[in-house]
């Protein structure tokens, strides 16, 4: 898992990081909550919004957490990934 903060062009950083790590963008997850996250959501395969995200982002994500940001949303996502991996499921199918 990788976390970068204070980034203005999130989509560009995601694409750059994927190239650096040799990871396909369609196998990459991004968790966000704001309108400025929409380009990042559109650049990867598993876009996720937190429960208290701006409503405008929901059409751009595959999954929305039940927990709001700062109150367990990341843990929820990590648990979903763990469950999927241990049950031979793909994360995108969650």
Residue 89 pLDDT more than 80?
Answer: no
- Structure confidence at residue 65 (pLDDT): 95
State the pTM of this model. 0.82
> What gap in Å lies between CA 39 and CA 91, rounded to an integer?
21
> What gap in Å lies between CA 58 and CA 49, rounded to an integer?
7
Query: Where are the chain's structural domains?
Result: 10-93
CATH of 10-93, one of 3.40.50.150, 3.40.50.1000, 3.30.300.30, 3.40.50.300: 3.40.50.1000
Convert the pLDDT of each residue in 31-53 to its tens digit: 999 999 999 999 999 999 999 99
Convert the pLDDT of each residue in 68-88 to its tens digit: 998 999 999 999 889 888 876
Query: In whole angstroms, what separates CA 69 from the centre of its chain?
Result: 12
């Amino acid at each position: 898992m990788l976390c970068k903060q204070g980034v203005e062009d999130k989509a560009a950083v995601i694409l750059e990081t994927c190239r650096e790590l040799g990871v396909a963008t369609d196998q990459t997850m991004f968790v966000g909550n704001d309108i400025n996250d929409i380009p990042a959501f559109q650049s990867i395969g598993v876009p996720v919004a937190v429960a208290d995200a701006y409503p405008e982002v929901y059409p751009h994500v595959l999954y929305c957490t039940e927990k709001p940001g700062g109150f367990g949303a990341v843990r929820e996502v990590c648990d979903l990934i763990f469950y999927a991996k241990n049950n031979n499921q793909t994360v995108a199918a969650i």
